[in-house]
Amino acid sequence: TNNALGSATLYAMDGCGNFQGITFNGVSYTDTGCAGGANNPIAFVDSGSSGLFILDHTTLGINDCTDNGYYCPSSTLTFSNIALTGYGNVGTGNVSVSIANADALFAANPTFAVFGNLGGDSGTSLATDSFDFGLPFFLGHTVFVGIAGATVPNGATAPNGFVAF
């Protein structure tokens, strides 16, 4: 059926559109929520971001490019089994992302507008890092987005909206 979730995992979002938690490289991060307008997002899906912005380069041990703000690892890196938890524990699952050398991507494909493995810094330290699954995340994934108030499939509870993939 068109637009049916099928086997996609549904993740409820908090009132600001964030996942409740994420575990990456054995470290668990928990969203502090957005009560009172204070939003310190830990992880979110954002089709408006040009890259996969995950952690800072010193935490990951990846070199930044010299002039464009993206990562320039010597070879493509794959981060597997990034564990996500939806708001209210509605939805749990693992995702993987790859980060390639941005300079090489731009040089080889000067007319491309988006790359599936373009990544960069999300913060400046563990205290300010977040996981921004930007537009490249949509390449290779079928992503469903339900806004607040939408009918939630499969009987799940997601009053603030959801993403599913």
Rounded Cα distance between 63 and 88, Å, is 36
**Contact assessment for residue 14 and residue 31, using Cβ atoms and an 8 Å cutoff:** yes
pLDDT attached to residue 35: 55
pLDDT attached to residue 1: 53
Kindly report the pTM of this predicted structure. 0.87
Grouped pLDDT means (10 residues each) for the chain, 165 residues: 81 91 84 61 89 78 83 92 93 94 95 93 70 92 89 85 94
CA 155-24-33 angle, to 5 degrees, is 55
pLDDT attached to residue 95: 93
> What HEC string does 33-87 produce?
CCHHHCCCCCEEECCCCCCEEECCHHHHCCCECCCCCEECCCCCEEEEEEEEECH
